[in-house]
């Protein structure tokens, strides 16, 4: 269900209930419409599904179609039910839980600049982890995929599972993570890597809301593999670093989506 229905160049009308399709677990999503300034996606969450706390670089509006759930917005709980509309400013922490099958339309505004630059302290800490990542990187990424596929089985459809089985996908990601740690203060050096990955993400219809899933699992894997070496300071730095990199990909992929659809 992770596909685009139409671009803004086409007339579009639909009965939303006809497009709803619930998975047995997790999330199914469909981009309904996108243009240079906005994107409208249908999300269908199975009963009990949780989208962990994350932020978006764009203003967002959630409109509930059917089902019930809870939206935690900056620590405040908002009951979700048919007809409820919630506006969320860019970079506002939020999380969603489906109490029963829950369907909603997520409307995203134009891409906004990153909220802040990476701090020098974070740059220094992340660069210092490069030797560790060179040694343990593939172990970390292999564990990350194990965690992600267990907690979020719905994302498996977006991955080449044969590349998972033979280890090539974890190896590629380990190389990318190591390169980021090495060049976090010189992202221009990573342009070719970013372009390659961004194009692959567009081909598999990766959405901005899926980046928190990857980030959550990557950070958990780092903590598990590094053990005592994964200090609170190190984890805080990598959290900030991941969010900054996610913004780079989200913004670039939005540009590609606009030219692709």
- From the candidates 145, 247, 253, 257, give the one annotated as an active-site residue: 253
Closest residue by Cα to residue 205 from 41, 24, 11 = 41
| 89, two tokens | 């400013």
3-state DSSP helix/strand/coil % of the chain, to nearest 5: 50, 20, 30
DSSP 8-state assignment for residue 126: H
Which residue is it, tokens 């990573």?
A: 190
The one catalytic residue among 178, 180, 211, 242: 211
CA distance 208 to 254: 9
Is 253 annotated in the active site? yes
Token pair 């992770």 is found at 2
Take residue 10 and report the two structure tokens written for it.
Answer: 């086409």
Cβ atoms of residues 186 and 232 within 8 Å: no
Q: How far apart are CA 50 and CA 27, in angstroms?
A: 9
Task: Please provide residue 83's backbone torsions phi and psi, each rounded to the nearest 5 degrees.
Answer: 95, -15
Return the active site residues: 211, 253
């Amino acid at each position: 269900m992770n596909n685009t229905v139409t671009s803004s160049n086409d007339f579009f009308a639909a009965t939303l209930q006809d497009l709803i399709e619930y998975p047995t677990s997790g999330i199914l999503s469909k981009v309904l419409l996108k243009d240079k300034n906005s994107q409208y996606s249908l999300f269908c969450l199975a009963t009990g599904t949780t989208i962990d706390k994350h932020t978006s670089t764009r203003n967002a509006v959630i409109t509930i179609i059917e089902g019930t759930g809870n939206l935690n917005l900056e620590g405040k709980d908002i009951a979700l039910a048919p007809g409820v509309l919630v506006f969320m400013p860019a970079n506002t922490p939020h999380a969603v839980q489906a109490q029963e099958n829950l369907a909603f339309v997520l409307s995203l505004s134009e891409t906004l600049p990153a909220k802040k630059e990476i701090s020098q302290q974070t740059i220094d800490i992340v660069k210092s982890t490069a030797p560790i990542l060179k040694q343990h990187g593939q172990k970390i990424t292999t564990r990350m995929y194990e965690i992600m596929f267990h907690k979020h089985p719905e994302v498996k459809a977006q991955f080449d599972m044969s590349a998972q089985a033979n280890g090539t996908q974890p190896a590629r990601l380990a190389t990318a993570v190591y390169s980021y740690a090495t060049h976090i203060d010189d992202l221009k050096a990573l342009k070719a890597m970013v372009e390659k990955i961004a194009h692959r993400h567009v081909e598999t219809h990766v959405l901005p809301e899926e980046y928190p899933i990857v980030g959550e699992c990557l950070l958990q894997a780092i903590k598990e593999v590094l053990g005592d070496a994964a200090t609170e300071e190190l984890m805080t730095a990598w959290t900030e670093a991941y969010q900054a990199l996610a913004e780079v990909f989200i913004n670039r992929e939005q540009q590609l989506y606009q030219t692709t659809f």
